[in-house]
Amino acid sequence: MDAPPVKGFVPRAPSPTQSSPPVDAGAVHDRALGSYLGLAIGDALGATTEFMRPAEIRAKFGLHKNIVGGGWLRLRQGAVTDDTQMALYLGEAILESNGMNAKNVADKFIAWMRAKPPDIGGTIRRSLQMYLVDGRLVAEESEYSAGNGAAMRILPTVLASLYDPGKMRAWTLEQAHVTHNNAESDGGTLILAELTRLAIVYGQSAPLHTAARSFFEIFPAFDHKLYKGDADGYIVNTVRTVLHYFFNTRDFESCLLGIVNQGGDADTNGAIAGMIAGAFYGPSAIPTRWLARLDPKVKSQIENQTRELLAKFHPATNSEIFL
Ligand code: MG
Ligand code: MG
């Protein structure tokens, strides 16, 4: 069976007005949680088909649609990989430092690396080893660092800067440069961070379309209309893959099924798509069969960290937050 057909993207609600609508803090918390759970679920679901080709996935699963573990990492059912783990470590660093502190971020990543994670990307390993050698907090600039490893872990940075795009941009790049110092990585990471931020704050499609269009004017290579099925870990292909399935499906499940059945860097593309779609559609749109299989320890870490980040960085009540 083929992956589900891609349907036209239908905006769910009118765009926000220019008159600074109040933000419903309860709804924002809900969407933030949907985003973090979506990230972990995309990771756990996609890890099974990482590095496979679509034809291999069809031959083995028909349609890959359940969290079953396995894959090249031989994961147990419900386990997550570096994408979710690095986000959680980054979130811990942000909470401890009360903001962005690149040294604390690097130290957390080192602690994660020493805990022997199931996988670690080559660029990340090299950069962290250089940090251990000379303490550098900005990785060496390299044309070979255009992978999606800086983008996959951005969510806690976004959650700590939801109402301040300037801070979101600065913190996103600061954490990115600890391991990835590359213009394409920067551009793609910023696009994905801003779309996630807008999905959490508004939960509406119009701001996402507007933001995507304006990014494509600056970085035309990221336009998902150029997507031709390449779903590897190159940041340009990741952005195209994620946005193609997000903008051309109408619910969380279809978006994620489309992505993970494309193979390639399926866990990372699934995690990033889950982060945006989970925010946009909210946690109630995540299939219960997926939520029920997610590692309960990871689920509770996500619930706690989401609550702590929002409480620390956005303590205002509903009536106090206006955009
Ligand atoms: Mg991974
Ligand atoms: Mg991956």
- 162 CA distance to ligand 2 centroid (A)? 26
What is the reported pLDDT for 321?
56
Q: Is the pLDDT of residue 7 over 50?
A: no
- 266 CA distance to ligand 2 centroid (A)? 6
- 202 CA distance to ligand 1 centroid (A)? 28
Q: Is residue 84 part of a domain?
A: yes
- 107 CA distance to ligand 1 centroid (A)? 20
- 27 CA distance to ligand 2 centroid (A)? 30
Per residue in 247-293, pLDDT (tens digit) is 999 999 999 999 999 999 999 999 999 999 999 999 999 999 999 99
Per residue in 9-41, pLDDT (tens digit) is 222 333 343 344 567 889 999 999 999 999 999
* DSSP single-letter state for residue 63: S
Q: Is residue 218 part of a domain?
A: yes
- 67 CA distance to ligand 2 centroid (A)? 16
What does the H/E/C string look like for 242-266?
HHHHHHCCCCHHHHHHHHHCCCCCH
Cβ atoms of 285 and 254 closer than 8 Å: no
What is the reported pLDDT for 322?
53
Pairwise CA distance, residues 216 & 264, whole Å: 24
Mean pLDDT of 211-233: 96
Q: Is residue 71 part of a domain?
A: yes
What is the reported pLDDT for 21?
52
58 three-state secondary structure:
helix
Q: Is residue 9 part of a domain?
A: no
pLDDT band, very low/low/confident/very high, at 323 (cuts 50, 70, 90): low
The model's pTM: 0.92
Mean pLDDT of 48-70: 98
37: domain CATH number is 1.10.4080.10
- 45 CA distance to ligand 1 centroid (A)? 11
Residue whose pair of structure tokens reads 């779609």 in the numeric block: 277
What is the reported pLDDT for 23?
77
Number of domains in the chain: 1
* Phi, then psi, of 274 in degrees rounded to 5: -65, -35
- 44 CA distance to ligand 1 centroid (A)? 9
Neighbours of 67 (CB within 10 A): 24
Q: What does the radius of gyration of the chain's CA atoms come to, in whole angstroms?
A: 18
- Higher confidence at residue 150 or residue 9? 150
Amino acid in position 163:
Y
What is the reported pLDDT for 3?
35
- 150 CA distance to ligand 1 centroid (A)? 12
- Name the residue range of residue 117's domain: 25-313
Q: Is the pLDDT of residue 126 over 60?
A: yes
- 173 CA distance to ligand 2 centroid (A)? 20
Q: Is residue 4 part of a domain?
A: no
What is the reported pLDDT for 22?
61
Q: Is residue 322 part of a domain?
A: no
Q: Is the pLDDT of residue 6 over 50?
A: no
